[in-house]
Amino acid sequence: MPSKKARCVNFCSSVRWDLSLSNNCSDMSNFYRVPRYIFDPIRNAGLVEGVILLPFDPEGALEKQVRKGNVDDVVTNNCEENIADLEWWAKQKGQVDWVVAITQGMKDYTKWITECGLQAARKGVCILDRLTFLEPTRAREDFLQNASLTNLKILSPRPSFRADGTNSKDPVTSAWFVFQKPGAAQVNTCIDFEVSWHRPQNLKL
């Protein structure tokens, strides 16, 4: 069986992208926005610490929330093209502890962030996505079978990602998924229900 790295290389070299990449690499941010307090469930639990890589955060909104946690540094990537660049991921390998991303709505990019992110990070990957991410589709089969899902934080109410000012909620429940490297943590998954996550418990600015 080919190694996890080999599988990622094969995927990266064979996939055909349907998304058009603009020169300023910010098309996705025109529609999606990072909800306020969205990172609080992860930060308050102290699940992600050390050096954090944000593979896509063009507006810097997620970075602001992550920096409020117990982190040593935050490495950002503002160019969408880098997400699908194997050489860029190789440069990050061993340099960061965690890869953190909102993959909800990122379509094909999710596989790059999860597969290559788990290889690049020393500890693991933390993503926000629909709860249906756990459905064992062919695209996620290898990742779900090999990565260790240590924490699942299910959000209520459903967050709104619309950048047009409307408060339209996603039709599917969202959750934070914390994956660590295979065999790096306990087998059991800790499941928490984050009710009223959008109302901060700590009013400190």
pLDDT, position 179? 96
What pLDDT, on the 0 to 100 scale, is given for residue 163?
Answer: 63
Amino acid 184: pLDDT? 62
Residue 71 lies in a domain: yes
Range of the domain at 127: 25-195
- Cβ atoms within 10 A of the Cβ of 81, count? 12
176 pairs with which residues across the strands?
Answer: 128, 153
- Burial class for 96, CB neighbours closer than 10 Å (0-12, 13-18, 19+): buried
Identify the pLDDT of residue 120: 97
> Is 7 part of a structural domain of the chain?
no
**Residue 189 resides in a domain:** yes
Within a domain: residue 142?
A: yes
Asked whether residue 87 is domain-assigned, the answer is yes
* CA-closest candidate to residue 82, choices 55, 120, 114, 53: 55
**CATH number, domain at 75?**
3.40.50.150
pLDDT at 13: 36
Predicted pLDDT at 187: 67
Q: Kindly state the tokens that stand for 111.
A: 């596989």
pLDDT tens over the chain, length 205 residues: 444 444 444 334 333 333 333 333 445 555 568 888 999 999 999 999 999 999 999 889 999 999 999 899 999 997 889 999 999 999 999 999 999 999 988 888 999 999 999 999 999 999 999 999 998 788 888 899 889 999 999 998 888 776 655 656 667 899 999 999 887 656 689 999 998 777 666 655 5
Residue 59 within a domain: yes
pTM over 0.85: no
Q: Is residue 187 part of a domain?
A: yes
- Cβ atoms 99, 120 nearer than 8 A: yes
CA proximity to 39, closest of 81, 1, 58, 67: 67
Is residue 3 in a domain? no
Q: What is the pLDDT of residue 124?
A: 96
**Number of compact structural domains in the chain:** 1
